[in-house]
Amino acid sequence: MDHRPEKKAPRRNDYRVILHFDIDCFYAQACANQQPALKTVPLGIKQKSILATCNYAARRRGVKKLMLIAEARKVCPELVIVEGEDLTPFRDVSKRLYALLRSYSWSGKTERLGLDEVFLDVTDVVAYNVELLNRNTLARSYFCLSRTDPEQGFEYDASAFAGCVVYRCGPEDAAQAAAAAVLDSNPLAIRLLVASHLANYIRLKIEQDGFTSSCGIATSKLLAKLVGDKNKPRNQTALAALHDDHVLSFMDGHRLRKVPGIGAKTTHILEAFVTSGEVPDLADVDLHTMECSLTVGEVRTHADISAPTLQNLLGGRPGSEKGLGTKVWALLHGVDDTEVKPARDVPTQISIEDTYRGLNEVSEVTRELFLLSLSLLRRMLVDLVEDSPKPTWLAYPKTIRLTTRPKTSAAEGRPYNWSRSSRSAPMPGFVLNAPAVPADEIADRLVAETLLPLFYKLHPPRQQARGWNIGLLNVCATNLTGGADGKSGVANNKNIATMFRRQEDVLREFTEYGSDGGEGGGWEVAAAASGQPDGTAEEGSGALAGFSDDNTWDQDDYGSNYREDMEQCPLCGRFMPRFAQSAHDRFHSMEQGG
């Protein structure tokens, strides 16, 4: 008797149309826009000893994202390197581009992923414009960008797709074949074709703002993100997968680690199971050195893999995400029903951090806390204060949190979030005196009255003799709320000030520990447990929620020389060389700002 599990394919829903935009070499373009001479040279953006990113001219010469500066110079001696430590300009541009993209949404479903990626659910815009099509005059169609103002729109040729198309046949025939499906009145093909013109138009608008981008057009976030990666930079790709087997063959060719939502641990378990039939004990696994060549197809078609077996393999582990097996089974089939989340006007929290070679002196710690506070205040003013008609706080953080980590050396082989520990306190009300009171005065007071006392709780002065050896400081304004009653909405300074006073009386201090802290109580750990299968206490995993195991960079991105010392980010699952961790930490700390 055959005991093989029944392989029941999950149902895919194709009624939505989703665009995924990704700005090409984001930091590099942002810098080149500031200094146009940089547009024509191979350019790398430096953070500490690595390149946070590099432009495509540099990539063509073998330079890679997150490469060591020394290595990049060797590979490409003519590389121009620009300092990218000040993240403010990138954040500002990200906000501006997001606002631009948002303006094309009717539903408000515009979700950011990181600083330079945005999903738009344009189902409604596309449906409206499909209705407007006239089969006899397809080549002279008009795209309405507004339901109320017919003047807002553009002319387009609806007899052909804009940009590239992935279809079942070879790429050279894809566009024609897909267009033929349109003429054949395939409703899905028509929606995707119309959407491809909207994507093209929006990309043009982004270019007029100085940035080239890539875009994926499909029926889910998963498929849009994957297909958008097929033709980069400065291009777009629609996934004209009109039947289930088109979607399956599209998915099957991807390496498992490329699939957003399938993380390193899942990959490891499945790799072991598919190649040897064994179920590994993750405690013994070195994810750093893990190779992951397994493809989606190899897992999906494996005789012993089905939704229930995946649930057995992946679910039921301590801290594992609920329904993980079913979710992975769906992803393997290109099924992803997660919604594009509606835009938020204010971030959920804002944090700033930096890494150090080991701070041991009070004066050093004070100086760095001051600089971080200053950046935090500036960010709060940009993100939370509306300038006109007069400066008004739209939302305010009720809590300030300090996180530290000792300096570790690569040789110690610790995970990057080893020994992070935090202390929180109510955010003092005087921060609301900004912008009337200069930021440096407020930052000074914040350090003296709040942050240094928190620091001493984490690192008592008596321990200084042994060396504090601080490798990371993170200051986070969190617990953001929009009004004195806790509901969102515009708050006025008076009721915020009242709230702060009341809160200072009422709120007790609470402590969170890093993954080695052992006490693990409190909201932060609870929040992490829902996003992080390994239960590591880390803030901001929500920024990638639904895509919490997102991995768009595979190991090849780092070059084969670096594999020995790979580290996995517990927030997003990306692998990276140990030396790239600090830049990557900062990348996440920026995302948390929303």
Rounded to whole angstroms, the Cα distance separating 447 from 461 reads 16
Question: Residue 206 CB, nearest distance to Mg ion (Å)?
Answer: 12
Do 395 and 491 contact (CB within 8 A), yes or no? yes
Q: Which CB atom, from 116 or from 252, has the smaller least distance to Mg ion?
A: 116
- Which residue's structure tokens are 């599209």? 250
**For 96, which DSSP code?**
H
Directed axis angle between helix 324-332 and helix 307-314, to 10°?
Answer: 130
Q: Which one of ligand TTP, Mg ion, none is in contact with 584 (Cβ closer than 5 to 8 A by kind)? A: ligand TTP
Question: Crossing angle for the helix pair 88-102 and 187-208, nearest 10 degrees?
Answer: 140
Give min distance, CB of 177 to Mg ion, in A: 29
Q: Binding to Mg ion by residue 550, rule CB under 5 A?
A: no
Question: What is the closest distance, in whole angstroms, from the C-beta atom of residue 557 to Mg ion in the complex?
Answer: 12
Which of ligand TTP, Mg ion, none does residue 93 bind to, with CB < 5 to 8 Å depending on kind? none
Please check whether residue 297 is in contact with residue 333, taking contact to mean a CB–CB distance below 8 angstroms. Answer: no
Task: Say which entry of Mg ion, ligand TTP, none residue 115 contacts (CB below 5 to 8 A, set by partner kind).
Answer: ligand TTP
Q: Which residues make beta-bridge pairs with 510?
A: 424
H or E element: which one contains 100? helix 88-102
| Rounded Cα–Cα distance for residues 362 and 386 (Å) | 36
Question: Which helix (H) or strand (E) covers residue 300, if one does?
Answer: helix 296-300
- Please identify, among the stretches 23-31, 250-258, 350-358, 470-478, the one whose residues bind Mg ion according to the rule CB under 5 A: 23-31
384, interface contact from Mg ion, ligand TTP, none, CB < 5-8 Å by kind: none
Tell me which residue has tokens 């205040």.
377
Of the listed pieces 109-117, 148-156, 455-463, 572-580, which binds Mg ion according to CB under 5 A? 109-117
| Residue 480 binds which entry of ligand TTP, Mg ion, none, CB below 5-8 Å type-dependent | none
Interface map 216-255 toward Mg ion (x if CB under 5 A) = ----------------------------------------
**Within 13 Å of residue 401, how many CA atoms lie on the same side as its CB?**
30
Closer residue to Mg ion (CB): 228 or 415? 228
Shortest Cβ 18–Mg ion spacing (Å): 17
Residue 53 binding result from Mg ion, ligand TTP, none, given CB thresholds of 5 to 8 Å by partner type: ligand TTP
Binding site for ligand TTP (CB under 6 A): 22-27, 52-53, 114-116, 232-233, 583-584, 587
The one of ligand TTP, Mg ion, none whose footprint includes residue 20, by CB under 5 to 8 A per kind, is none
The number of residues that bind Mg ion (CB under 5 A) is 4
Q: Which is nearer to Mg ion, 229 or 444 (CB)?
A: 229
Q: Tell me the window of 17-25, 298-306, 341-349, 394-402 that interacts with Mg ion (CB under 5 A).
A: 17-25
Shortest CB 83 distance to Mg ion, Å: 20
Q: What's the min distance (Å) between Cβ of 591 and ligand TTP?
A: 9
Contact 291, 305 (CB under 8 A): no
Q: Does 116 bind Mg ion (CB under 5 A)?
A: yes
Least separation in angstroms between residue 235's CB and Mg ion is 13
What totals of helices (H) and strands (E) does the chain contain, helices first?
Answer: 19, 20
Pick 211 or 468: Cβ nearer Mg ion = 211
Alpha-carbon radius of gyration of the chain:
25
Distances (CA, A) of 190 to 185, 238, 250, 436, 451: 7, 12, 20, 54, 57
CB of 94 to ligand TTP, least distance (A): 9
- Identify what 512 binds: Mg ion, ligand TTP, none; CB under 5 to 8 Å per kind: none
CB of 84 to ligand TTP, least distance (A): 8
Is the sign of the CA dihedral 224, 230, 233, 237 positive or negative? negative
List Cβ neighbours of 80 (8 Å cut-off, separation of 6 or more).
38, 41, 42, 43, 44
Query: Nearest-CB residue to ligand TTP?
Result: 53
Q: How far apart are CA 511 and CA 509, in angstroms?
A: 7
Mention every residue, 6+ apart, whose C-beta is less than 8 A from residue 246. Answer: 167, 168, 240
Report how far residue 381's alpha carbon sits from residue 501's, in angstroms, rounded to the nearest whole number. Answer: 21
**22 lies in the site for Mg ion, by CB under 5 A:** yes
Closest to ligand TTP by CB, 22 vs 354, is: 22
Distance, CA of 362 to CA of 470 (rounded, Å): 11
529 binds, among Mg ion, ligand TTP, none (CB under 5 to 8 A by kind): none
Provide, rounded to whole angstroms, the least separation between the CB of residue 558 and ligand TTP: 11
User: What's 410's DSSP letter?
Assistant: G
Residue 591 engages Mg ion in binding (rule: CB under 5 A): no
Q: Interface residues with Mg ion (CB under 5 A)?
A: 22-23, 26, 116
